Structure 1
Amino acid sequence: MRPDLLGRVLSLLPTGGGRPELKAFSAMLRDYPQRGGKGIRSELLLASARAHGLQPGTPGGEGALWLAAALELFQNWVLIHDDIEDDSEERRGRPALHRLHGVPLAINAGDALHAYMWAAVHHAQVPGAVEEFLNMVWRTAEGQHLDLTWVQHRAWDLTEGDYLEMVRLKTAYYTVVMPLRLGALAAGVTPDERFTAAGLNLGAAFQIRDDVLNLAGDPLKYGKEIGGDLLEGKRTLIVLHWLAHAPEEQKGTFLEQMRRDRQDKDAEAIANIHRWLLESGSVEYAQDYADRQAREGLALLAEALEDAPDQAAARELLGQMRGLATREA
């Protein structure tokens, strides 16, 4: 996250009172924002605002910056809750918040950041922004519900279409669709309806690429534990494709491990499954799928930005989206 946005986020958060417990609470609220996230979504929002003609220092610029700060707060409270729901060990190279402070305190910190997100939206004073944030929260919760339900019920009889629906809801709306739309609104422009279709494709490409990095990425660059999706029993395009073609013995080992809770999984069996996935060609299949989604999304986005007021900024936005959908870390 860029320093000016981090400062804006932190300016909303309490500094604590006289009680040591409240000072500790304030430190918890600042923890995830200060861990150095990439600020992908806020940067897309600001790039969209520039493409739609909003120049830095103009009256609408403050509104765009507050919406960008609100997106960062959304990202951070969702990550706190997501780490609890997935029983994750790490976030951005450090122990997850609930590992440091326990689940009840981490939930409470996430709830508080959710409230401060709405404070940032209020500060923005951008017409239509509240409705966009409501839709974003709702869609993300729907996608998370699908993901968590499949994990809870040990469901593996899923199709690639099921996976795509889940990631479009869980990831694409808040990663791409809403930043594009919010940037336009900040500039006083009605968002192009093609942003939704473009954003859903690009967001799916982003998530599939994240799934690839979780299995085959550089742990120093990735910021989360490599192979964590296997331990958490995540449904990914890689695994669903592999299951459709895996030898019965390997498939049986996989399903037996996935019936276990994370702490009960056998480390050697998980390591073998990890190796089978890497050797199977399913990682390459998923990357090719992501590349197709990215191409379709970029073509739609280019069409939507053909008449954007600032064409240089529009080209910059397309470049950012291309890098996002094909990222290496």
Structure 2
Amino acid sequence: MRPEVIERIEALLPAQHHRPEIELLYRMMRDYPARGGKGIRSELLLRGAAAYGAPPGASAWLATAIELFQSWVLIHDDIEDDSEERRGQPALHRQHGVALAINAGDALHAYMWEAVLHAGVEGAPGEFARMIHRTAEGQHVDLAWVQHHQWQLTPSDYLEMVRLKTGYYTVVVPLRLAMMAAGRAPDPRLEAPGLDLGAAFQIRDDVLNLVAQGQGYGKEIGGDLLEGKRTLIVLHWLQGASCGEREAFLSEMAKPRSAKDAEVVAALLHSIQHSGAVEHAMTVAHDLAERGLNALSGVLQEAPHPAEARHILGLMRQLATREA
């Protein structure tokens, strides 16, 4: 994450209060931003703003807002998924309980809007509202599949979900905000490649969750399986699984996380890892990434600062085609 974003987060979020309870809230709000992370979305926004000649102050505040969005969404997401870890440390609700973590996420949400207002960019509040709507829709689909024990799903179902849940806030909206910060109307051609690249990124993240031992991955390995996540990998594996494997899988996934049998889950994970499903998912991600990069290149070639545009394409290539 860039220094100018970190500085704005530190300046915006309060740190001290005479009541210890409120000071704990402030520490909790600062926790996820302080854990670092790559700052992919803010970097994309700042690169895009430079490519289109936006003033640095306005774009830095928008980048700060999108990082605060990421933080409060992750706090809530970890609770909804019953996750154990975030960026190599216990999830916030594991440290402080669900109620306090929800409240800290809500407080960060409010500070996100404050950062948006600091930017003073016309149309930015509406863009953030649109981003929240799409992300919430995708998250709801994902959670509803788990809640309703739904496994009769197709790859198209998965891709529609991740385009909503991940594609908008990871790629589409940062690039649209970059153009808005430069006083331009967002190019509608950004949406299709942005959604393809966002889906490719999510598939790669799903792969890392299964095979990233020793690679500095910030979440628990196999956590998606324990949480019953519907991923492209698992959906493909189910198509070729034996009746016994499928029965064991569906029986285990019907249980809450705390009741799952670790040995059964380990056996299922081994089967998935050696079934070809991971390689299939990586091929799909590669094809989506190439299509997205080709289309995005056509849009960015009109940017007034070509060197920055090339940096964006390089960042997107690294993001969407990273080795697992």
**Fold agreement, TM-score > 0.5:** yes
| Amino acid in structure 1 at the alignment position of 2:314 | G
Structure 2 regions of 5+ residues with no counterpart? none
Corresponding residue for 1:33?
33
Alpha-carbon distance, 1:52 to partner: 1.1
1:169-205 per-position Cα deviation (integer Å, ceiling 9, x unaligned): 0000000000110111111122211110010000000
| Amino acid in structure 2 at the alignment position of 1:271 | A
After superposing on structure 2, the runs of 4+ consecutive aligned residues of structure 1 that deviate more than 2 Å are none
Alpha-carbon distance, 1:220 to partner: 5.0
- Spell out the pairing of 1:60-209 with structure 2 (5 A cutoff): 60-209=55-204
Aligned residues: CA RMSD: 0.9
Task: Tell whether 2:213 aligns with 1:224.
Answer: no
Q: Please give the alpha-carbon distance, in whole angstroms, between the structure 2 residues aligned to 1:221 and 1:40.
A: 17
| Amino acid in structure 1 at the alignment position of 2:142 | D
State the secondary structure of the residue aligned to 2:195.
helix
- Spell out the pairing of 1:290-301 with structure 2 (5 A cutoff): 290-301=285-296
Task: Tell whether 2:5 aligns with 1:8.
Answer: no
State the secondary structure of the residue aligned to 1:221.
coil
TM-score normalised over the length of structure 1: 0.97
Alpha-carbon distance, 1:327 to partner: 2.0
Q: Please give the alpha-carbon distance, in whole angstroms, between the structure 2 residues aligned to 1:17 and 1:225.
A: 34
Q: Please give the alpha-carbon distance, in whole angstroms, between the structure 1 residues aligned to 2:67 and 2:194.
A: 18
| Amino acid in structure 2 at the alignment position of 1:110 | G
| Amino acid in structure 2 at the alignment position of 1:226 | I
State the secondary structure of the residue aligned to 2:166.
helix
Q: Please give the alpha-carbon distance, in whole angstroms, between the structure 1 residues aligned to 2:252 and 2:7.
A: 44
| Amino acid in structure 1 at the alignment position of 2:14 | P
Structure 1 regions of 5+ residues with no counterpart? 55-59
| Amino acid in structure 1 at the alignment position of 2:36 | G
* Conservation of the 8 A alpha-carbon contact between 1:50 and 1:310: yes
Q: Please give the alpha-carbon distance, in whole angstroms, between the structure 1 residues aligned to 2:126 and 2:200.
A: 26
| Amino acid in structure 2 at the alignment position of 1:8 | R
Q: Please give the alpha-carbon distance, in whole angstroms, between the structure 2 residues aligned to 1:128 and 1:138.
A: 16
Corresponding residue for 1:20?
20
| Amino acid in structure 2 at the alignment position of 1:188 | G
Instruction: Give 1:317's match in structure 2, choosing from 291, 312, 319.
Output: 312
Corresponding residue for 1:57?
none
| Amino acid in structure 2 at the alignment position of 1:29 | M
| Amino acid in structure 2 at the alignment position of 1:5 | V
Q: Please give the alpha-carbon distance, in whole angstroms, between the structure 2 residues aligned to 1:239 and 1:121.
A: 38
Task: Tell whether 2:253 aligns with 1:258.
Answer: yes
Q: Please give the alpha-carbon distance, in whole angstroms, between the structure 2 residues aligned to 1:11 and 1:211.
A: 34
* Conservation of the 8 A alpha-carbon contact between 1:277 and 1:283: yes
Alpha-carbon distance, 1:11 to partner: 1.1
